[in-house]
Amino acid sequence: MSPAPRVRFAPSPTGHLHVGGARTALFNWLYARSQQGAFVLRIEDTDQERSTEESYAAILAGMRWLGLDWDEGPDRGGDFGPYLQSLRLDTYGEHLQQLAADGQAYKCFCSAEDLEGRAAEAKAAGGVWEGYDGKCRGLTGEEVTALEAAGKPHAWRLRTPDEGSTFWYDIILDKLEFQNEVLVDRVIVKADGFPTYQFACVVDDHLMEISHVLRGDDHVSNTPFQILIYQALGWKPPKFGHMPMILGPDKKRLSKRHGATSVQEFQGQGILPAAMLNYLSLLGWSPGGNAKEVMSAQEIIGKFSLKKVGSSAAAFDYDKLNHINSEHIKALDAAGRLALAMPLLEERGWRLDPAWLVHGADTTEAYLGRVLATLGNRFSSLVTLPEQIGFFFSDDFFVDQEAWAEHVSTSEASTLLTILADALEKGLAGDQAHAAGAFDDLVRECAEQAGVKAGRLIHPARVALTGQSRSAGIFEVMELMGLPRTIERLRRAAATA
């Protein structure tokens, strides 16, 4: 049996946690959790100009929101720390010394301007510029000493082989091979003494005993160079798996143009973390066969396998995410729905008013619980919920103007609503006002007296009370709204005709 895998998510703290990064983190987490392995969080903050504290905090918050817990990381330590690359500079320095002593790394004195100039010349002459031309490769000891004495700063580059090829068997993309002649001597330590991503990543993946590097396929071009670093240090590379990139619905690279792209934005749009995790898991992976796609994290862990991660790009489908989100909301029990809806009330300052006289609901939570029960599975989105329940909490509720004009603003509706309001005032008292059945009977009596079908009264009453032509059972709505408010709203509506 092979040892338990160790995988990592290694974000650079230069922005929010985006869909691509979240999917990378998720697949590593799923692999670790499904194989009883370890999931390591390492922060790659060696780009001092672009790394920020805010981004670091946002990435951790995004992962916590999704429920992607890590076994080792900057905030919780572990046997292989520190997990912040900026705290590991000595380690990179030691390994650079090893490469320098072996003659595998050399000093390069070319400035950015020098390189730009030579790139332009190469292109003008009809050639290609791969990023470096090996200019400082052959500097003699004296030349190096002279340049240093002249105060010229230098970076360090890896001396890569000119012949042969570098290849690996990618877990997702199969065999990938690059000719060494096209792999240039890239920088491993910059002139400011900081390691490049390539070098720090390899040193850390090795020292942290990472067994599988699972990352986006935008890193495929980095992998051969990284393998050469492993070889130069005399290390065995880990296994690599490159996941296909995520496209927008139009099959172009997913970007702001398409809509939300950061986990934080989806959170703000009422997406549940369980739904986001579920949807992200389907971007490039599928449980196979006719297996259902709406799954809990535990179900996904149970089914996850790297073998089923596909190699073709996945298109982000916002409608499917919303559908999966609604299925996750519907799968919640009453307590779960309540916990989800309660913050929306708090944000709006909506609470139970004792004057509503609603039987058996003496707290806002109890009242909301009853309101949600009348909605049943019509509660499928946090975005539409306030509109669906606002009329229970505030007189300033959403009104469908078309429905109002059609059903309420007519003289017949006005007459019928007044008849009903009068009857409720006289006819319902005490416990009767707390039973939907009593409202039902009374509405039907009023319609009969007025010589119209019950529906001619029910439609205007529904729009008058809820502002909409579709709602939960109208008699339950009346019961939950409470007798005084029901009468008041019917009268107010009658007066608008």
Q: Least distance in Å: CB of 323 to ligand GLU?
A: 30
Q: Is 11 in the site for ligand GLU (CB under 6 A)?
A: yes
Name the minimum Å distance from CB 217 to ligand GLU.
11
**Contact stretch for ligand GLU (CB under 6 A) within 5-13, 103-111, 132-140, 420-428:** 5-13
Indicate the residue among 16 and 219 with the shorter CB distance to ligand GLU. 219
Are the C-beta atoms of residues 47 and 192 closer than 8 Å to each other? no
> Cβ 42 to ligand GLU, closest distance in Å?
8
Between 210 and 446, name the residue whose CB sits nearer to ligand GLU. 210
Q: Which of residues 168-197 bind ligand GLU (CB under 6 A)?
A: 197
Active site residue 239: no
Which residue do the tokens 């991503």 mark?
197
Cβ(220)–Cβ(282) under 8 Å? no
Q: Which is nearer to ligand GLU, 15 or 249 (CB)?
A: 15
User: Among 7, 26, 32, 44, which residue interacts with ligand GLU (rule: CB under 6 A)?
Assistant: 44
Between 219 and 323, whose beta carbon lies closer to ligand GLU?
219
Residue 94 sits at the vertex; the CA angle it makes with 90 and 96, to the nearest 5 degrees, is: 115
Cβ of residue 7: shortest distance to ligand GLU, in angstroms?
10
| Nearest residue (CB) to ligand GLU, 12 versus 466 | 12
Which 192-211 positions form the footprint of ligand GLU (CB under 6 A)?
Answer: 197, 201
Neighbours of 331 (CB within 10 A): 12
Min separation Cβ 203 and ligand GLU, Å? 12
Per-residue string for binding with ligand GLU, 406-445, x by CB under 6 A? ----------------------------------------
- Per CB under 6 A, which region of 9-17, 95-103, 176-184, 367-375 contacts ligand GLU? 9-17
Question: How many whole angstroms separate alpha carbon 56 and alpha carbon 70?
Answer: 15
Question: What's the min distance (Å) between Cβ of 243 and ligand GLU?
Answer: 10
- Among candidate residues 123, 256, 308, 453, the one labeled active-site is 256
- Give the dihedral of Cα atoms 7, 13, 16, 21; nearest 10 deg: -30
Beta carbon of residue 24, minimum distance to ligand GLU (angstroms, whole number): 7
Q: Which is nearer to ligand GLU, 51 or 380 (CB)?
A: 51
Stretch that binds ligand GLU, among 8-16, 108-116, 185-193, 462-470 (CB under 6 A): 8-16
CB of 12 to ligand GLU, least distance (A): 4
Instruction: Choose the stretch contacting ligand GLU; rule: CB under 6 A; options: 4-12, 32-40, 134-142, 161-169.
Output: 4-12
The contact mask relative to ligand GLU for 219-238 (x = CB under 6 A, - = no) is x-------------------
Secondary structure (H, E, C), the chain? CCCCCEEEECCCCCCCCEHHHHHHHHHHHHHHHHCCCEEEECECCCCCCCCCHHHHHHHHHHHHHHCCCCCEECCCECCCCCCEHHHCHHHHHHHHHHHHHCCCEEEECCCHHHHHHHHHHHHHCCCCCCCCCCCCCCCCHHHHHHHHHCCCCCEEEECCCCCCEEEEEECCCEEEEEEHHHCCCCEEECCCCCECHHHHHHHHHHHCCCCEEEEEHHHCCCHHHHHHHHHHHCCCCCEEEEECCEECCCCCECCHHHCCCEHHHHHHCCCCHHHHHHHHHCCCECCCCCCCCCCCHHHHHHHCCHHHECCCCEECCHHHHHHHHHHHHHCCCHHHHHHHHHHHHHHHCCCCCHHHCCCCCCCHHHHHHHHHHHHHHHCCCCCCHHHHHHHHHCCCCCCCHHHHHHHCCCHHHHHHHHHHHHHHHHHCCHHHHHCHHHHHHHHHHHHHHHCCCHHHHHHHHHHHHHCCCCCCCHHHHHHHHCHHHHHHHHHHHHCCC
CB of 264 to ligand GLU, least distance (A): 17
Choose the binding region for ligand GLU from 7-15, 65-73, 371-379, 473-481 (rule: CB under 6 A). 7-15
Query: Would you give the binding string for ligand GLU spanning residues 126-145, x where CB under 6 A is met?
Result: --------------------
**How many residues lie near ligand GLU (CB under 6 A)?**
8
Closer residue to ligand GLU in complex, CB, 110/201: 201
Encoded amino acid at 217, one letter? D
Residue 10 contacts ligand GLU per CB under 6 A: yes
CA–CA dist 270, 384 (Å, integer)? 10
Cis check for the bond before 153: say yes or no (omega within 30 of 0): no
The catalytic residues are 256
Binding site for ligand GLU (CB under 6 A): 10-12, 44, 197, 201, 215, 219
